[in-house]
Structure formats: C-alpha cells, structure tokens
Structure 1
Amino acid sequence: MRLLRIALIVIVLCLLLAQAAVPMVAQGPVDDCNPPSGPAPAPMGASKGGTYVTDTDNENNARTGSADGDMGGASPPCIWDSDANHPIEFNIAVTGPLPSSSAALAIAAYDVDEGRGREVDEVYFNGHLLGTLTGQNNQWSTTLFAVNPDWVVSGDNLVEILVDVASPGDYCAVIAWGQLLIDGGQGASASINRMSVGDCFEVGPEVAIDVDMVIGVNNAGNYTLEVNLVDPNSVNVGAQVITFTASLPGTVNQEVSFALGAASTIGTYTVAAILFDDANVIQEIEQKTFEYSVDCSPPPVPDVPEASTLGLLIPGAMGLAGYVGLQLRARRRRS
C-alpha cells in the first residue's frame, strides 16, 4: 500500500509540474470584432487568368460566322423579338488556356426593365441557360453570370439572347458587349483590394446601405466602377457608376450608398462591384452579400452546463490530484 501511495503522489507531482511549465495565454473576449487578417492580396500585375471581349457583332442566326447587326458597334441597335435578326447572338473566342477553377460571363445591356417581372431576356452560353438580364430603366447595366467551366471550349463560344420571352412585342434589348472571364480574368491595371458592407440591416422606412471600397492602382489612367444592388429575387434594384482618374502607384477610396425601405423585399441581397479600365475591359469583380431583416439581433447564447465536481469532467492536474486523494481515502476506509 505504501508503495502504491508513493507512486500516485509522484504521478500527481509530475502532472502539476508539467502544467506549471505551460505558459498561460491571455484569453480575450469571444468576439472582439477584430477578425484575423486574411491572406495578402495577389501582387499587382500578376496574371490571374484570361479576359476575352466581343464588342462587335460576329455571328448570325444561320451560324455562318457573318455579322447580322444585332449587337455592338458605336451605336448598338435595339432588337425586338419580331426582328429578322433576332435572337441576338455573338461569339467570344477563347485563345488561351481553358478554365481550371472558374468562368464568368458579363454582358452590358441598356434599359432592361426587369422589375415586376416585365422584361425577361434569357441568356444562353453554348446552349446552356444562364439566367436573365438585369438592369435599370434608361441606364446601362452589367449582368454577371457564373459559367460552368466545363461549358467553355477553345475557340468560339456562342452567346445567345432571347429577347422579351415573357411578353413578346413589349420590349427590345440593346447589347453593347460581352466579356468572358477565365479564372478571375487577366485584369492587371487595377483591382478591388477591399469592399465592405454591413452583415445585416433591419427593415425601416429609409435604410442606407453604405458600401466602402479600396481600389489598388497599378497603371495610371481612367477607370469606371459600376456597383449594382441585386435583391433576393435576382432583380437589380440599384445601380451606380463612378468614373475616376488614378495615379501610379497608390490606392483610391470609393463609396456608394443605396436605400432600402419598408416595402423592400426581405432576404439576402448581393452587392456586385465591377471595375473597368479606360477600354471597358473588366479588371476585377467583387461581390458581397448582406441580410435585410426585421430582426438583426444575434441568436441567444446557449447556457453553459455546470461542470461536475467528480465524474468525467476533471479539469487539469488539480482536479486529478483531488481525484487521487479521494481514492486514497477510500482505500484507507476499506483497509
């Protein structure tokens, strides 16, 4: 018995010494509102992928590779579903590597009256339906589509737009250009280093949605920043365009603000920022989401159960020492 007691005491002392040797780490609050820094942004000028632009018509309904005048050019036409050259179609030629991770299609259209389910213009990529154009009344807007990388082929990729499928004869579509971004695009002149917007906004009569952006500039020149607000039903409910001149090198801060109201749709909104260079080539696309809700309060913290003085919850060496002591006293009573 004496040897057993000595062995147990030695074990307890070793555990206590080991615990004392471990440096204590200061415990801050669970949520200190300062998340750790993310990965460093990619160096400016690094090639990220490929960007392919078509701003001049190059295809027709017979697919012979000749233009039929239904998009692009200095003054893009407004195409009706009853026109002989409808639907709108054009090719985007991919001459570099195919996507390894992602692909996106951007289309610039004018005066898309999509609100309330009115104008519906369907967009197809190599025969696959991507969705419908979004936009604002009497304003140029860029619609972004995620493209399955497996649908992208080397050479010509066909983009087709069926105009006004929901109410034929009511609306026409004006298309300026299409851009296909492979693996994030090749934009190297400038980038959106950071875009921030609140996580949740509570419904009210007039709620300001402020969006802050930091633009990193590698090449001096003129730039355009288009910011769209898309509601939970994929309807564009706000679009703002900023043009600015940037110096080399440096950063430029930009801010836009949208307004939602009591009648605005509740749910998840998307803020999509698109940065163009002076030639209207997309440099970068950044998207953030936020919630518009009647209650933005965080969920209640669940109660923490009290730890048992014995049982299986024995914190640290002191708990183990107490447990061993109890066992030794129990042995004395039995012996």
Structure 2
Amino acid sequence: MKIKNKLLKYIILLTAFNNQLFSQDTINKKILWTTDWSSDGKFMAIGGNLDTLKIYSEKNLKSYKSFPIKSTITRIKWHPLKNSIAVATQLSEDKSCIINLDTDERIELNGISPGGARGIDWNYTGEYLVVADNDGQILIYNMKGTLIRSFKNENSKGVTAADWHPKKNILITVSDKIRLFDFEGNLLKSIKHRPEEVMLLSVAWHKSGSFFVTGDYGDKQDKSLLQYWNEQAELLRSIDISKGEYRNLTWNTKGNRLATASDALRVWNSKGKLISEGNSKDYLWGVSWNKQGNRIITSSLEQNIILWNDKAEKILLIE
C-alpha cells in the first residue's frame, strides 16, 4: 500500500509540474516570449507566438528581416561568433532550427519530441548546440545541425531552460530540479532548489564559471525566487522580492550586472545586490544586453518591446 501511495503521489506531482509548465503560457494569447542581441551588437531578435521571428537593426531600431515560424518561438540564442541564430519552438508545425542570417538558410533540428522545446544554448566555443525539450530529452547538435547525442533528463517531463558552462562542456538544465550534466550525458548533480514543488524557468552561468543563478515560477503566495549557486551547486543566496515568475535572466558582457525579466526589469550585481529596478505595466518575458552593456532589450506578455539603459530606465518603446 505504501509503495502504491508513493507512486500515486509521484504521478500527481509530475502531472502538476507539466500543468504548471503551460498554465500561464496560454496558446491563444499573443506573447513575445524571448529576445536576444547578436554577439556583434548589430541586431536584435524577437520571438513568441506571433508566427514570426523578427530581426531588428540596432542602428535604427527598425525591422531588418523576418522569418515565418508557425506558433510559438520559446527561446532564441545567437551564435557567439557567427551571424546565425538558434530557435526553439513548441506547439508548432515548424521544428526548432538554426537560421543563417547571411544566407537565410534554415536547418531543422531533428530528434526533438513532438511537444517541442524551451531550452536552447550554444556552448562557449559555438561548436555545439544543446536543445532541452518538453519530454525531458537533452539533445546536442553540431553547428551544421547534425545530432551528436541525446539523453534523458532524470525523472523529468519537460525542461524549461538550459545553459552551458562558459569555459567547460558542462551544462545545467532546470525544470522541477537543477541538474548538471557532462558532455557525455552523465548526471553530475541533481538539486531540489526549495521545499515547495515549484518549477524553475531560467538559469545563467556567470561569465567566470564560478557560480550560476536560477529563477523560478513562484508558489501559491506569488513568491518567486532568484537564487545564486556556486559551481558545486551549493546555495549562496536566495532572494524573494519578485511578485512575478523569472522568465529569463542574463549577464552583461563584463559579468558585473545581471538583468532579470519578471514583474519588473531588475539589474543585480554579481553578489545578488539589487542595483536598479524598472517598472513594467505587464510581465516581462525576454531580456538581453547589448555588446557594450549599456542597453537592455525586453519583450513582454502584452507584446511590448522596450529598450532600457543599464540603470533600468526606459529609453524607447520599439514598434
């Protein structure tokens, strides 16, 4: 009887995690999920469930290119050296892909579960791309989009974000837990980040590789946690000032400022001290720094694209 009860409890929790994964990601609502600034600083990419990946010019903030992608673009990541962008999709007829901005060539990424993916990231050399999908698969591709290996996330149905170590081929995935893997797919560590059953949504290694930061969905009291962890995944600091889930977070090039997207744009230092805060009328989902570290772009629940300075002061609403 105890074994059956434990099994039933596990099934209920797993179902709850998957429901939480999509509960606010309303299919019919038009949301700008994600944004990223190109490594050379010349372009910005925006995606969501508007059936289009849009590329803006940094020079004049006007539309530069667009690519039709049906349904939801969950996350985009520019290659660290090339003018190519990796695109993760879900609930979509179009697969996750790599798009070459110079030639407009699109390479589809095979092997991803039919439910699509939300985690995507290039490794520090740009040689490998990881995609973490909604069925708990972790897939590693080369630059040409060829699948090199895949493995399963431990006891998990759906990964919300993935991030490579900045100096090693070690990666973190987040979902119901924080999990660290090596390049071969060996599980190095698995951590439950808080006592409550709360999904994690975002993760970012610091540029030094000595620590990383995670953001979660929030509990029933709307308490979302931003947490700093050392390289061994030991908790350094936990911060609960946000009323909204931490959809995305990212470091500037120097690594001295972290920008987080939630109920406000917040900028933190490397120790977890809040430096500045910018109010938002709606929940922010995407966030990215420019190359110089003096501008931040955000995308939001209500399709707003906003340019901010490094003090989280609004500069411009981009049309």
Q: TM-score range by the shorter chain?
A: under 0.3
TM-score, length of structure 2 as denominator length: 0.22
Larger radius of gyration, structure 1 or 2?
1
If each structure's strand is expressed as a fraction of its own residues, which one has the higher value?
Answer: 2
If each structure's helix is expressed as a fraction of its own residues, which one has the higher value?
Answer: 1
TM-score, length of structure 1 as denominator length: 0.21
